[in-house]
A and B are shown apart, each in its own frame.
Chain A
Amino acid sequence: MVQLTPEEKGMLAGSLGEGVALAMESVVRVAEVLGAPRLVKVSSAHISGVSYKNLGEEGVEFLEELAAKGARFSVPTTVNPAGFDMEVYREMGVGEEEYELQMRIVRALASMGARVTLSCTPYLINPPSFGDHLAWAESNAVLYANSVIGARTNREGGPLSVLEAIVGRAPYVGLHTDEGRAPTVVVDAGGVRSFVERTGAVSALGYLLGAKVKAGVPLLVNAPRNLAHPGNLRLFLAAVGAASSIGMVLVEGVSPEFKRVEGLKEIALEEGELERVLDKWSGEAFDAVVLGCPHLSPGELAELASRLGGRRVKGRVLVFTSRWAVSRAADAVEALRRSGVEVYADTCMVVGNLSALGVRRCATDSAKAAFYLSNQGYEVVLAPRDFLLKAVLSSQR
């Protein structure tokens, strides 16, 4: 039985309208299924799965009806990337019908009070504090909030996060609880540490950890030193999320809740395994370098611009980021565009349509992007960002 407060019972009974009652009933039902004793108030929500491809006409109608029934997000709410850049959608090969469907979703979410961030990096745009409870969908954001900030959220799931944003609560279970945040397995990266430090294969490391551990809360020891770089950390955690159902990694030297625990099972990561991950997405030829999974931060945009130093790139480079980061790093974006880099906001290579941009074979530094793009039928090369930048700066391709 899920214990509800008088206020929650009222919401369930319709005191705040039909939309809130439907949302409350769903959240309570999920809480029952997950064995949660109660709900917990959250300080923010982040919604994933907002592209028209996922929702379709029926999903759009559902959101519009929720809004029409008076449902409103009761906590600050941000949203994941959409199918295209709202400003330059025509150049991205998006038809008017798709545009309208996507805009109806965005308008419905905005009318319920969402901030139209269209980014998978809410932790940069609306950063939570240590100990905050959140209702976040989008696995890389969940992993970052739990592992790096020490905020608390499960991988709530896209549709559920809409309902949790309305009621401002999530089932109190899993990573919301102290017991659920205790490490379940020790992962020793000592065997791959020098390899990752030498090659920069931080994203492949995340993919390997996810594929090998699959679930629970891993405690990562002997982590490569370059993992602490913020951009590397995001690439690493995103890859963990793509390869597993893990929502938190306790990283030595990074996670505020890291502490050594005795008596846990230990898993050692080996160099040969990491090489096999890289072999999955190896190759020479590509039409474009695609960066920004997760969305690049203002700092990463500036780093990229400074790395190019005004030189023109040979071949295509596509960068995906948030409109928030574009506004914060306007000069860097300007410089990148002068260098021939295509910079897109509001969307990404995974939820957007790379083939409409003329890309069939791509190279990326993100194992998460590599995983999803190869599932969508693209040929993908996975390599560290620095390696890819050298390739587009040299004349030989």
Chain B
Amino acid sequence: MRGRGRGPLLVSEEPLSFYGGVDPLTGKIVERGHELYGRSVAGAILVFPYGKGSTVGSYTLLRLARRGKAPAGIVNLASEPIVVVGCMLGGIPLMDSPDPNPIALKRELEGREAELVVEGGTGLLKVVADVRGEEGGP
């Protein structure tokens, strides 16, 4: 989806199920055993391979967006209908097929402040600052 968003990068190597896997009221990841269990997607630039699980997950993204708890942007390696429809309904910028693959750079990117700009069918993901401490706070 078109649009721009800014927030800390939250990177998952595993697919994510929004229905049942993310609390629609708070944005917390509640799928047991998931590598991001307990983390919140709210305000983050969320990077994961692709969505999985029930198609009701699209409504979870819509609900998060209306509560101000949605990701500021989503980056998928390969989009599938659940996340595409959810981002449309929630007005969340969505980029797919990023090159280079940000998931392979998880350790370097995790937690960094990034900006996602999607327009005219292309997306740009840009690290804008390091908020992990070395260069001070925002």
Closest to A22 in B: B88
Contacts of A159 in B (CB 8 A): 55-56, 58-59, 62, 85-86, 89
> Chain A's interface: helix, strand, loop or mixed, by majority?
helix
Contacts of B96 in A (CB 8 A): 33
Q: Is the CB of A59 within 8 A of B63?
A: yes
Closest to B80 in A: A33
Beta-carbon contacts under 8 Å, A1-56 to B = 22, 25-26, 29-30, 33-34, 48-49, 54-56
Bound CA span A29–B84, Å: 7
Q: Is the CB of A157 within 8 A of B85?
A: yes
**Total of A-B residue pairs, C-beta within 8 Å:** 66
Q: Is the CB of B81 within 8 A of A59?
A: no
User: Is B1 an interface position by the 8 A CB rule?
Assistant: yes
Residues of chain A at interface, number, CB under 8 A: 22
> Smallest CB–CB gap between B59 and chain A, Å?
5
B: interface residue count bin: 20 to 34
Closest to B58 in A: A159
User: Is B79 an interface position by the 8 A CB rule?
Assistant: yes
User: Is A160 an interface position by the 8 A CB rule?
Assistant: yes
Beta-carbon contacts under 8 Å, A55-73 to B = 55-56, 58-59, 61-62
> Chain B's interface: helix, strand, loop or mixed, by majority?
helix
> Smallest CB–CB gap between A28 and chain B, Å?
10
Contacts of A29 in B (CB 8 A): 1, 84, 88
Selected contact of A26 from candidates B24, B66, B85, CB within 8 Å: B85
Q: What 1/0 flags go to A86-113 for Cβ under 8 Å of B?
A: 0000000000000000000000000000
Q: Is the CB of B55 within 8 A of A33?
A: no
Bound CA span A137–B82, Å: 13
Q: What 1/0 flags go to B106-118 for Cβ under 8 Å of A?
A: 0000000000000
> Smallest CB–CB gap between B33 and chain A, Å?
15
> Smallest CB–CB gap between B107 and chain A, Å?
29
Q: Is the CB of B56 within 8 A of A158?
A: yes
Query: B residues within 8 Å of A by Cβ?
Result: 1, 19, 24, 54-56, 58-59, 62-63, 65-67, 79-82, 84-86, 88-89, 96
Supply 20 further A-B pairs (C-beta < 8 A) apart from A33-B81, A62-B66, A163-B85. Answer: A26-B85, A26-B88, A29-B84, A34-B81, A54-B59, A55-B59, A56-B59, A58-B24, A58-B65, A58-B67, A59-B62, A61-B66, A157-B85, A158-B58, A159-B55, A159-B58, A159-B85, A159-B89, A160-B58, A160-B85
What are 27 A-B residue pairs whose CB atoms fall within 8 Å in the complex? A22-B88, A26-B88, A29-B1, A30-B81, A30-B84, A33-B79, A33-B96, A48-B55, A49-B55, A54-B19, A55-B59, A56-B24, A58-B65, A58-B66, A58-B67, A59-B62, A59-B63, A61-B66, A137-B55, A157-B55, A157-B81, A158-B56, A159-B56, A159-B59, A160-B55, A160-B58, A160-B81
| In the A-B complex, the 7 residue pairs with the closest CB atoms | A157-B55, A159-B58, A58-B66, A58-B63, A26-B88, A49-B56, A33-B79
